[in-house]
Amino acid sequence: MEWINAVVQGALLGGQYALLACGLSLMFGVMRIVNLAHGTIAVAAAYGALWCVETLGLPVWLSLVVTVIVFAGVGYLLQRGLFNRALRAGELEPLLVSFGLSIVVVNLLQEKFSADSRHLSAGSLETASLKVTDDISVGWFSLLVLILAALVFAGIELFLGRTTQGRAMRATSDDPDTARIMGINNAHVYGLATGIAVATVALAGVVIGMSTVFSPGYGDLVLIFAFEAVIIGGLGSLWGTFVGAMVLGVAQTVGAQIDPAWGILAGHLVFLAVLLLRPQGLMSKVKVA
């Protein structure tokens, strides 16, 4: 029963990783950009929600909504003002730009909030749990995060397949030159994709801020987990990313069940095994859906 509990807890942890990796997968699928500032943006969102709570006096759940909306706009502006220019210069430039952006944001966060660890309180929801059996309990917070992650992935999938802007995004991903000839504004489509991606990672950042302590440099670890989930699932496949996050979460909790020191290591080993045995990922499909 202990092993079953480890798998259940791993799937719940995978919900956080899925929410975190969603935007990274979307940006690569649409624009072939690996955003090295992804983890830092998640941490910045957690600090943004914390500022809303401490300075504006907003409830934590309202601060989450405000933060996601603000960061969606920030993502759109970043793409239109920064990443689009870098894309025109070549494939390597966006990687360098995102790396530089990460360094700048980390230093700004340290200047504003110091390097001390902080936490967002979710109240009684942090400790509330659902008892499944005598040996298995499911935390309500983790369960809600997993459900939220599934809804986010399903919502993006519906957006890409059922809306005009979503179909334009898919067309631009497949062939940007032809899409431009057909009258699609690639710059706007890219901005919209990044806005959605940054909104999802902001949501993940606030959730992580509620589930653990964070500091300005915490984004590096967050980026590693998101990147591993995307690679395990398959580059450019949204649902592959979801599956990859589940695999990563279960690997970590099962590893911790064997030995507490092996939790994170087990996830890294699974990541390396996928690279060796199936480098294209479990559900490889280099497009946005």
The string of pLDDT tens digits covering residues 245-278 is 999 999 999 999 988 888 899 999 999 999 999 8
Query: Does pLDDT of 76 surpass 70?
Result: yes
- The percent helix, strand, coil of the chain (3-state, each to 5) is 80, 5, 20
Residue 272: what pLDDT?
Answer: 94
Query: Does pLDDT of 37 surpass 90?
Result: yes
How far is Cα 134 from Cα 21, in angstroms, rounded to an integer?
33
Residue 287: what pLDDT?
Answer: 43
| Residue bearing tokens 């993940």 | 204
Residue 286: what pLDDT?
Answer: 45
Question: Cα–Cα distances in Å, from 257 out to 1, 102, 136, 261?
Answer: 12, 34, 14, 9
> CB of 1 within 8 A of CB of 133?
yes
What b/e string do you get for 41-61 counting C-beta neighbours within 10 Å, with b at 16 or more? bbbbbbbbbbebbeeeebebe
pLDDT confidence bin for 284, thresholds 50/70/90: low
> CB of 217 within 8 A of CB of 106?
yes
pLDDT tens-digit map of 144-197: 999 999 999 999 999 998 899 989 998 888 888 888 888 889 889 999 999 999
